[in-house]
Every structure is written in structure tokens, then in C-alpha cells.
Amino acid sequence: MRVLITAGPTYEPLDPVRFIGNHSTGKMGYALAETFAAEGAEVLLISGPTNLPDPSNARIQTVRVQTAQEMYEAAVVEAAAADVWVFAAAVADYRPAQVAEQKIKKAGETLTLELVKNVDIAAELGKTKRPEQFSVGFALETENEHAHALGKLQRKNFDMVVLNSLRDAGAGFRHDTNKVTLLDADGRITTFELKAKTDVARDIVRSVLARRLPQPH
């Protein structure tokens, strides 16, 4: 089994010393890489900038990128050969329309930045997904959680979406714990307790492996 995982934030440059980013640590994606590798999978981990070391497991190949565009280009090369795709990255939705060649100098009392939309990596790869491939997305929501997560499942052609609700204390960014609900394309909903991200990774990997095995009649 070959697994492609995106992880961490993306950094979108503004000038040589500044970027737009987010607080994703990459922990969830890295934990998924380790867990799939422990199950015997060959993993390609495409990671935005994180403070985590490259996983040492020989089954995990780590590719470092900065921007959404770079993450997309790295993913598109490997997507056709992978059996499972996991989109755990917190990809910047927009990037600065212009990257200044020199450091932007302080001038007026306000500064307006123009942003342009980034490529949606999961949605673009979703258009190329073959029936035997399995795609897993994440959704971080603060309201109408199930409806929004299922909307993403449909738009991005996911087979399963991992919902993080920010209403749950201890879940999401900057925590070592997470509380997730798995929603799948068949309408199945599984809710898990708050637990360590490494244990959440095990729950997700087990669910993916179970869905990919032929179901008993």
C-alpha cells in the first residue's frame, strides 16, 4: 500500500522576510505517516514548514515544501501511484498577489494586501481519483460542523472526512490531543473521545484500512 500525506501549514511569501502562515504544527499528519508505516505502508509525507524532524522510519519519505503551489506540485507527481491520499495539511486558502522583491518598507498608517486564491490540492487531485483509490480529508469547523464537513467530502471527492470541531476543548491546532468525528461517503458517522494525536491517528488508519478491505456480506 502506498500512502500520500500532506501535513503542516503552508507559508505564502510577502517579501524576502515575511509570509502569511498559520498555527498548524504538522503533528496530526506526521502521526498518520508513522501509523501507516507501522502497518507496512510506503508513505510519502509532503510537509510544509514544521518544527518536527523528518520521521526516521525507512518506509516514510519526507518532502519539504513552503507554499501551497509547491505542495500541489509535489503531490500531483505521486498521486496516481498512491492507493490512499490523506490531506492533513492546513493549506493557506490565499496568497499575496505580489511577492515584493525587496523588504516592504513601513510607510502610511494602513497597509492593504491583495490576496489571490491558492490551488485546492485535495479538490484538484479528487478530479483524477480512480475507483480503487481512497481519499481522506480533514475539516476544521466552528459551526454547522456535519453539514460543512459533508459539503467538503462531496466537493473534494473524499471517501472519508475527519471532522475537528473547535468547540471541543483540547482539539485542533497547538494541542497534543484531538477529538474527531469520521464521516464517510456511505453516511457512516463515528465519534471518538478526546485522545492523544498518536491515538487519533490509529483510529483513522484503522478506519481507512477497514473501509478498503472487502466488506463481509
Q: How many CB atoms lie within 10 A of CB 103?
A: 11
Of 37, 65, 121, 163, the residue at the interface with ligand CTP (CB under 6 A) is: 121
Closest contact distance (angstroms) between CB of 216 and ligand CTP is 30
Q: Is 138 among the residues that bind ligand CTP (CB under 6 A)? A: yes
For residue 74, the partner it binds in ligand CTP, Ca ion, none, with Cβ less than 5 to 8 A by kind, is none
Query: Scanning residues 164 to 193, which ones bind ligand CTP (CB under 6 A)?
Result: none
Q: Which of 33, 137, 157, 201 binds ligand CTP (CB under 6 A)?
A: 137
Residue in 22, 144, 157, 178 annotated catalytic: 22
67 binds ligand CTP (CB under 6 A): no
Is 22 assigned a catalytic role?
yes
Q: What's the grid cell of residue 84?
A: 490512499
Q: Which segment (19-27, 33-41, 88-96, 172-180) binds ligand CTP by CB under 6 A?
A: 88-96
Among 25, 62, 67, 118, contact with ligand CTP (rule: CB under 6 A): 118
For β-strands 12-15 and 94-96, DSSP reports them as unpaired
* Binding footprint of Ca ion on the chain (CB under 5 A): 93
In contact, 180 and 204? CB cutoff 8 Å: yes
- Using CB under 6 A as the binding rule, whether residue 78 contacts ligand CTP is answered as no
- State the residues that interact with ligand CTP by CB under 6 A: 6, 68, 87, 89, 91, 93, 118, 120-122, 137-140, 152, 156
Please give the positions annotated as active site: 22
